[in-house]
Amino acid sequence: MIICKSRDEIRKIGEAGQLVAQVLSKMKDLIKPGVTTEELDQFAEELILKSGATPAFKGYRGYPKSVCVEINECVVHGIPDSRRLKEGDIIGIDVGVQLDGYYGDAAVTYPVGRVSAEATKLIEVTQQALFQGIEYCRVGNRLSDISHAIQSVAERNGFSVVRNYVGHGIGREMHEDPQILNYGPPHQGPLLKEGMVFAIEPMLNCGTYEVEVLPDNWTVVTRNRRLSAHFEHTVAITDQGPLILTELF
Ligand code: MF3
Ligand code: CO
């Protein structure tokens, strides 16, 4: 069941979303060769707690850290550790918080120093795919219009869309209905209504869309070990069109 939110609830998800946006934006300055992903995690955790929120991922199904880090071939759910970033890496950072009973969730992929032309294009296209999906978050569209828009941008640019992980409704729970696939035919599924709030999160790969889970049972990597990028926003459907709650106001 898809839960529609009141204006007041959307405002609260927006407060959580603003904190997520601030954390991601401040972390951008730390993304340099030599920093460890544990240091990134600690920075985010401190800022979240200092703001009166809690990190949504820590303890979720036993996840041990506050953020997820996605270096190069890592698609999602990489666990921060003592690994140091190096020039030419790309790193996705996924942040979720709970504030005053409501969740916000977003992810961005940053280059570390100068990166390859392929990496630059993958990052740009993944962000474009997310924004194209958001463009379809309008009353009267159907859910899979979002999915189809994302897939079209990805494949038109020669990248593949990960099948095994999806976006989700969000609100009083981090994961609510519906599941939002990042691929599929248009005009299928539920009609979009005012008050629906979605975390839309395309993951795009170079080459095959197939992925594998590493033995730590969290880290998801591309099967071909080529690059993957991930962007996510929490978005409300309003009578005025899509409202991105995890973009800095
Ligand atoms: N944005 C991801 C999601 O919606 C991050 C979850 S990480 C986890 O599932 F550790 F909490 F699982
Ligand atoms: Co999410």
- Residue positions in the annotated binding site for a divalent metal cation? 94, 105, 168, 201, 232
Helix (H, G, I), strand (E, B) or coil at 205: strand
Joined tokens for residue 47:
């800022």
Q: How high is the pLDDT of residue 249?
A: 84
- Nearest 5°: the CA angle 28, 74, 77 is 80
pLDDT number for residue 136: 99
For each of the domains in the chain, give its residue range(s) and CATH number, in order of start. Answer: 7-244 (3.90.230.10)
- Which pLDDT belongs to residue 123? 99
pLDDT confidence of residue 125: 99
Q: What's the pTM?
A: 0.98
Strand order in the sheet with 211-213: 74-76, 220-222, 211-213
CA 180 to each of CA 18, 111, 113, 177: distance values in angstroms, whole numbers, following the listed order: 22, 27, 33, 9
Q: Is the dihedral of CA 139, 140, 145, 149 positive or negative?
A: negative
Instruction: State the closest ligand 1 atom to the C-alpha of 57, by its place in the atom list counted from 1.
Output: 11
* DSSP 3-state of 8: helix
Closest by CA to 70, choosing from 241, 233, 211, 235, is 211
Q: Is the CB of 63 under 6 A from ligand 1?
A: yes
Ligand 1 centroid to Cα of residue 215, in Å, is 18
Ligand 1 centroid to 163 CA: how many Å? Answer: 16
Instruction: Find the 77 Cα to ligand 1 centroid distance in Å.
Output: 7
Residues of the chain with pLDDT under 70: none
Binding positions for substrate:
77, 175
Q: Decide: 164 in ligand 1 pocket, CB within 6 A.
A: no
79 Cβ below 6 A of ligand 1: no
